[in-house]
Amino acid sequence: MYYRIRYVLEIWLSALFLTLFLAGCPGDRGGNPGSCDANPPMVVSTFPVNSSINIAVAANITATFSEAMDPASISSTTMTLYQGVTPFAGIITYDSLTATLNPAGNLTGNTVYTVTITTAVRNLSGSNIVTNYVWTFTTGDVIPPTVVSTIPTNGATNVAVAANITATFSEAMAPATISTTTMTLYQGLTQITGVVSYAGLVATFNPNSDLASGTLYTATITTGATDLAGNAIVSNYVWTFTTGDFINFETAVRFGVLAGSTITNTGLTIVNGELGLSPGTAVTGFPPGIVNGVMHVADAAAAQAKLDLTAAYIDAASRANAPITVAGDIGGQTLTPGLYRSTSTLAIATGNLTLDAQGDSNAIWIFQMGTTLTTAAGNQIILIGGAQASYIYWQVGSSATLGANSVFKGSILADQSITFTTGATMDGRALTQVGAVTLDANTINVPTP
């Protein structure tokens, strides 16, 4: 009986083994590789990681598996790199759980790439990954930024001494790289101090004080300036400009009226700017006069403005570059920008005076006279060709008188006094070092510096 039972059992076990053998099992001769593995291999990490950005164009692509893989299954057909529908060739290697794709050349900047590990990849026992493993990444910017424009432009002349210097870039820059180290301004070998800011593609250098007039400056953007991807400009960007021969009023620039002894007014005078007196203390006629600004009477601001006026007066009187000689009445003439000098008087008496900037909005006129300046009743100074009252200066050796209802343009810097007769108007400044300013129903508009 024992042998009969043993025989039956052996027959049954043999049949079971044969059944399993014929059915097959993954990794065995009769089955589909991997289908019976309880823990198939998988990708546990990649470089670049999925959806990463700003990846270097020279980077290699790697995939690390959960277990040792069959090196023969890792090839250019089972690990692929595509840009859109275009394959990107490379060399595939495998070592220590990690497959590496080394592209045949640099990738294209600012481009999305797709990497795929296919199910043909298998482990050492023949088990495959369950599904294709797919991930994407985007390369970084590789195009260096450029400076596309500047203010002032290279070689510009007659640049305002109070101007800021700007550089506009071709793309967004890394704000931390825009500083006084990478944006500099020099006058010769002397570095100009200032504050640098960056907004909306534009870097701005704001000097701590006004630049010198009639002076050549050199501005530079260095290769330390980079875009958001870290690309630097290829070489230092250098440009030069020359300031105009402006008269620098410093703090006196805010004043429509500034006098030494007294300021008197009759009627409805309007001063659109500040009014100052120093060292005198007598200001009368306000009201009815109106000052649309601060009145400084014998205070520190007025005293400082008087010091600045003295410096401006000396500057205007000392200009000597190619002066044009004039004398007496210049009414009825048209004058282009320049330095005009009279050893005695000047008058605008027999007609209007026209000042033509010929398209240069920074054009400058300086009028020097040894004694007086007068304008006849009703006569005007007419500005054409972009001329601006801000850049017209009248240096008067003694006193100035503006006729009734005359229209005056520019700033008068008088050693002694200035008298406005009834209804005379001015776009400029009435500034005296020593004497009085007398007003009578006038309007004075301080121009933009």
Answer whether 352's CB lies under 8 Å from 334's CB. no
The answer to whether residues 192 and 279 belong to one domain is no
| Tokens linked to 224 | 């330390």
9 found inside a domain: no
Statement to judge: residues 229 and 261 lie in one domain: no
Query: In this structure, are residues 402 and 375 in contact, taking their beta carbons and an 8 Å threshold?
Result: yes
Same domain, 229 and 328: no
* Residue positions counted in the chain: 449
> Is the bond into 41 cis (omega within 30 degrees of 0)?
no
- Asked if residue 10 is part of any domain, the answer here is no
The CATH number given to whatever domain includes residue 120 is 2.60.40.1220
Please tell me the total count of domains within the chain: 3
Q: Could you tell me the residue range of the domain that residue 400 belongs to?
A: 250-445
Q: Which of 224, 243, 262 is the last residue in one of the domains?
A: 243
Whether residue 439 sits in one domain with residue 295: yes
Q: What is the mean pLDDT of each run of 10 residues along the chain (449 residues)?
A: 51 47 40 58 97 89 97 97 96 96 92 97 96 95 92 87 91 95 96 96 94 90 91 95 88 97 98 98 97 98 97 92 93 96 96 95 93 98 96 97 98 98 98 98 93
Question: Domain check: are 281 and 180 in the same one?
Answer: no
Q: How many CA atoms lie within 13 A of 435 on its CB side?
A: 16
Q: Say how far apart CA 344 and CA 339 lie, in whole Å.
A: 15
Phi, psi dihedrals of residue 14, rounded to the nearest 5°: -65, -40
Helix (H, G, I), strand (E, B) or coil at 14: helix
Q: Which residue in 377, 383, 318 sits closest to 347, CA to CA?
A: 377
- Dist. CA 338–CA 352, nearest whole Å: 18
Q: Are 271 and 293 within 8 A, CB to CB? A: yes
Residue 208 lies in a domain: yes
Domain boundary, last residue among 182, 216, 243? 243
The single residue listed with the structure tokens 């967004």 is: 172
CA 344 from centre of chain: 48
State the residue for tokens 């010769």: 188
Q: Which of 215, 243, 271 is the last residue of a domain?
A: 243
- 135 and 182 within one domain: no
pTM of the model: 0.57
Whether 352 maps to a domain, the answer reads: yes
One domain, residues 193 and 86: no
Residue 105 lies in a domain: yes
